[in-house]
């Protein structure tokens, strides 16, 4: 029997953008067990509902994470709106969808850059992040912030996009889409990328469901599940279909995210084409009294926002179940049996977001 040893991985590691720790039990170079450990940056943001009223809390929700900021604001506001029975103006729904899809593009491009960097493919990393800059510039122009957007509010959105802005966004989407094609081809066809990703970290379809995988991690294993299919907000009028892959390996997870980029471009174009005129928010009267579990599709997968109000301006409870929380158990599973050298790539392909997880 091979000698067993334990190798600590993280919390600081070149491939990890945020701190997470794993104890890897090895037999020679093969991982036989991985014990995850988080908790380096827990901030207790959910508890702040005691001190910030439900309208102010939108500001906190948007700051749970710098990558999923727009989606967190949206999920929180939609949960409160469900509790209060608020009908949001249609234009606000479309604006929200446009920003959330821009957010998905920015998140996936960020991830692609990190993946390329982890593989040592520096030019691909720089090209992915160069394209991401263009989306961040569009966020700056439309929302006034590159990372934290502060566009959502209970009852609608805070900012509108005029026709000039929407046209500029259409042009930017067209530019990015054409620039991104060589990057996508490299990720999907390059020999080096394929040799690192194909067949690595396979998550079978049944395991993906049993272990609670969500988002691209789940869809790469062949499960057609995308919460946008529920038709919340403007998605009821937009064309969404889950993008899947069948192999369930690192390459499949990369392929799903790459295809989702083009789906987001299409959704932005469709939303801009269909956006109605009108108000962007409605006045909110009263306080939330009741509870609701709201689900939205964040770039990393299904996120669940629970809100419980008691009729006062302070909520009893806000809870966020992040996609990464759900993707840690399947990550631990795919690490079993892999080679030590593949661990960084396998961890990256779940696209862990530790700030969200330790909100």
Partner 1 sequence: MEYKNEIRKITAAEFFPAVVHMKTENWRLVQICATCIEGGYEMSYSFCLRYDMVTLRLEVAEDEEVASITQIYPCAFIQENEAEELFGVKIKTIKPDYKDKLYRIDVETPFKKKE
User: Residues interacting with partner 1, by CB under 8 A?
Assistant: 35, 37-40, 42, 44, 46-47, 209-212, 214, 225, 227, 229-231, 291, 293, 295, 302, 304, 306, 308, 316-317, 319, 321, 325-326, 328-330, 358
Rounded to an integer, what distance in angstroms lies between the CA atom of residue 247 and that of residue 219? 10
Minimum CB separation of residue 308 from partner 1 in Å reads: 6
**Which of 126/229 has CB closer to partner 1?**
229
Rounded to an integer, what distance in angstroms lies between the CA atom of residue 156 and that of residue 154? 6
**Which of 129/306 has CB closer to partner 1?**
306
Minimum CB separation of residue 327 from partner 1 in Å reads: 10
Minimum CB separation of residue 225 from partner 1 in Å reads: 8
Minimum CB separation of residue 289 from partner 1 in Å reads: 15
- Report which of 78, 97, 84, 122 is spatially closest to residue 305, judged by C-alpha positions: 78
**Residues in Cβ contact with 268 at an 8 Å cutoff, skipping those fewer than 6 apart:** 98, 101, 102, 169, 170, 173
Residue 171 token pair: 């042009």
Residue 36 token pair: 């995850």
**Which of 45/166 has CB closer to partner 1?**
45
Minimum CB separation of residue 339 from partner 1 in Å reads: 24
Residue 241 token pair: 């279909």
**Which of 18/127 has CB closer to partner 1?**
18
List, in sequence order, every beta strand (DSSP E) within the chain. 4-9, 21-27, 30-37, 152-153, 156-157, 289-298, 301-310, 315-321
Residue 326 token pair: 């759900």
3-class state of residue 159 by DSSP: coil
**Which of 209/282 has CB closer to partner 1?**
209
Minimum CB separation of residue 306 from partner 1 in Å reads: 5
The total number of residues written for the chain in this structure: 359
Query: Where does residue 85 rank: exposed (0-12), middle (13-18), buried (19+ CB within 10 A)?
Result: exposed
**Which of 112/354 has CB closer to partner 1?**
354
């Amino acid at each position: 029997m091979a000698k067993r040893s334990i190798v600590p991985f993280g919390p600081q590691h070149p491939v990890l953008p945020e701190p997470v720790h794993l104890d890897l039990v090895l037999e020679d170079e093969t991982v036989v067990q991985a014990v995850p450990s988080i908790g380096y940056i827990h901030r207790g943001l959910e508890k702040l509902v005691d001190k910030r009223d439900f309208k102010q809390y939108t500001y906190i929700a948007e700051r749970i994470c710098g990558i999923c900021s727009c989606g967190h604001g949206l999920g929180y506001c939609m949960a409160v709106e469900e509790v209060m029975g608020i009908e949001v103006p249609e234009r606000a729904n479309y604006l929200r969808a446009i920003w959330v899809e821009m957010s998905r593009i920015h998140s996936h491009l960020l991830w692609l850059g990190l993946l390329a960097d982890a593989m040592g493919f520096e030019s691909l990393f720089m090209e992915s992040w160069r394209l991401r800059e263009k989306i961040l510039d569009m966020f700056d122009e439309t929302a006034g912030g590159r990372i934290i957007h502060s566009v959502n509010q209970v009852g609608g959105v805070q900012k509108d996009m005029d026709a000039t802005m929407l046209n500029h966004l259409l042009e930017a989407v067209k530019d990015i889409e054409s620039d991104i094609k060589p990057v996508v081809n490299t990720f999907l066809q390059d020999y080096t990328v394929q040799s690192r990703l194909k067949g690595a970290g396979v998550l079978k379809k049944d395991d993906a469901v049993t272990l609670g995988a969500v988002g691209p991690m789940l869809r790469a294993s062949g499960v057609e599940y995308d919460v946008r299919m529920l038709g919340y907000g403007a998605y009821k009028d937009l064309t969404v279909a889950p993008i899947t892959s069948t192999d369930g390996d690192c390459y499949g997870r990369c392929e799903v995210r790459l295809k989702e980029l083009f789906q987001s471009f299409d959704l932005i174009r469709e939303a801009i084409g269909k956006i109605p005129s009108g108000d962007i928010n409605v006045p909110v009267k009263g306080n939330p009294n009741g509870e609701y579990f709201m689900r939205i599709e964040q770039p990393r997968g299904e996120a669940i926002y629970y809100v419980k109000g008691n009729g006062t301006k302070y909520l009893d409870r806000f809870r966020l179940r992040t996609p990464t929380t759900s993707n840690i158990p399947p990550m631990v599973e795919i690490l079993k049996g892999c080679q030590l050298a593949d661990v960084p790539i396998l961890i990256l392909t779940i696209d862990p977001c530790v700030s969200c997880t330790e909100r």
